[in-house]
Amino acid sequence: MYADAANVSERQLQPPALAISTVIFALRPSARSGRPTLWLPLVRRIRQPHLGKWALPGGPLAQVESLQDAASRNLRETTGLVPNYLEQLYAFGGLDRAATQRLVSIVYWALVQPDEAALTRESENVRWFRADKLENLAFDHNAIVDYALWRLRSKMEYGSIAYHFLGDTFTLAQVREVYEAVLDRHLDPANFRRQLRATPDITPTDEYLQGVRHRPPRLYRYTGTASILGAQASPVPATPVPASTSTD
């Protein structure tokens, strides 16, 4: 009781702590079906509060970096990942987010390619989890992941976001698999192909995917606004694309 009262009065004096976190999505083959499914990397808490629980990668905001740079740097430091797409998700500032202090988290969300995801330096404290089978995470991170999933699905429905999950060239069936994995429903291959062919941003190459046990599918390339970090259809004037954090 006394300790609680002391905490409360302490909290009145401290300024709110500001942290940057990121929800990172990648497609990896499911363990049993082999079909691509949504995964995300988490880091284990190595200090109180929530010691031992899994949490979104994140950390404090350094003085000399923009919000997006902070997200990008944190990502690289904690998981070794360099994202193909990075965008601000939301600022979470509820009163009960952390027990010990007032904590405001500016959360980003990112997409990485499968081969990039495979390079993750996994360890005791860094591991990939299936997005649809998450255990109890630290803080309000379950709710944050749910919101990030909602945003990902919304953007997928009428945006050119899916290509950031894929490599430089890809088959139309691979794009469809991305949609099916993220939206979690079956799409008619013929109709899906018709729609993609009508999209000007996706141009056919004259190469074909070899080594499959059926007719080789044509490879395509995304030629819209390049797969640059932070590229988006919305004009976010205050967050220009940092050259130092581009793909590859």
236 binds, among DNA, its own copies, none (CB under 5 to 8 A by kind): its own copies
- Cβ of residue 12: shortest distance to its own copies, in angstroms? 5
Binding residue (CB under 8 A) for its own copies from 44, 45, 50, 67: 67
Binding residue (CB under 7 A) for DNA from 11, 35, 130, 218: 218
Closer by beta carbon to DNA, 169 or else 171 = 171
Q: Kindly write down the DSSP assignment for every residue of the chain, as one continuous string.
A: -HHHHHHHHHHHHSPPEEEEEEEEEEEEE-TTT-SEEEEEEEEE--SSSSTTSEE--EEEPPTTS-HHHHHHHHHHHHH----SEEEEEEEE--TTS-SSS-EEEEEEEEE--HHHHHT---BTTEEEEETTS----STTHHHHHHHHHHHHHHHHHTSS-GGGGS-SEE-HHHHHHHHHHHHTS---HHHHHHHHHH-TTEEEEEEE--S-SSSPPEEEEE-SS-S-TT--SS--TT-PPPGGG---
Residue 234 binds to its own copies (criterion: CB under 8 A): yes
Binding residue (CB under 8 A) for its own copies from 147, 156, 167, 228: 147
Binding residue (CB under 8 A) for its own copies from 28, 73, 102, 221: 102
Tell which residue, 106, 98, 95, has the closest CA to residue 61: 106
Residue span binding DNA (CB under 7 A) among the ranges 30-38, 68-76, 144-152, 214-222:
214-222
93 binds, among its own copies, DNA, none (CB under 5 to 8 A by kind): its own copies
- Cβ of residue 15: shortest distance to its own copies, in angstroms? 6
- Can you give the binding site for DNA, defined by CB under 7 A? 171-173, 188-191, 193-195, 197, 208, 212-218
- Can you give the binding site for its own copies, defined by CB under 8 A? 11-12, 14-16, 18, 61, 63-67, 88, 90-95, 97, 102, 104, 106, 140, 143-144, 146-147, 150-151, 154, 234-239
